[in-house]
Amino acid sequence: MLKIIATGSPNLFKHVLDNKVGVWVSPEKTDLLEMLNDGVVKLLGGNAFLVAPIIVNKQSIGLFYSDRMPSGRELDQQSFENFEYFAQQASLGLDYINRMKR
């Protein structure tokens, strides 16, 4: 995955890391899908998914990914908001742990 993110072409995961913003990707959001190569789309099943950054010490250190592929249920706005909240809270917890180690 890091090799995919490190390339110079536009990449959704790099966009999330660089801009520190969560995204909801679905087949209808073609502008976001254009930032994924065919291999990634095939790996992720071509279904809707959510991605959010993990932020520690004001730096993106990783990503959270979520989809509903196993259940086949649709994602909705409430799911996206809850996912973003989870990512923010997890980042705050990790940031706190990081500060306590100093």
How many domains does the chain contain in total? 1
Query: Rounded to two decimals, what is the model's pTM?
Result: 0.85
* Domain, as residue range, for 57: 2-101
Which domain CATH number covers 44? 3.30.450.40
Report pLDDT for 7: 55
Q: Does 19 score more than 50 pLDDT?
A: yes
Chain segment 25-83, per-residue pLDDT in tens: 998 887 888 888 888 888 888 789 999 999 999 999 999 999 998 898 999 999 999 99
pLDDT at 1 over 80: no
The 3-class SS string of the chain reads: CHHHHHCCCCCHHHHHHHHCCCEEECCCCHHHHCCCCHHHHHHHCCCCEEEEEEEECCEEEEEEEEECCCCCCCCCHHHHHHHHHHHHHHHHHHHHHHHHHC
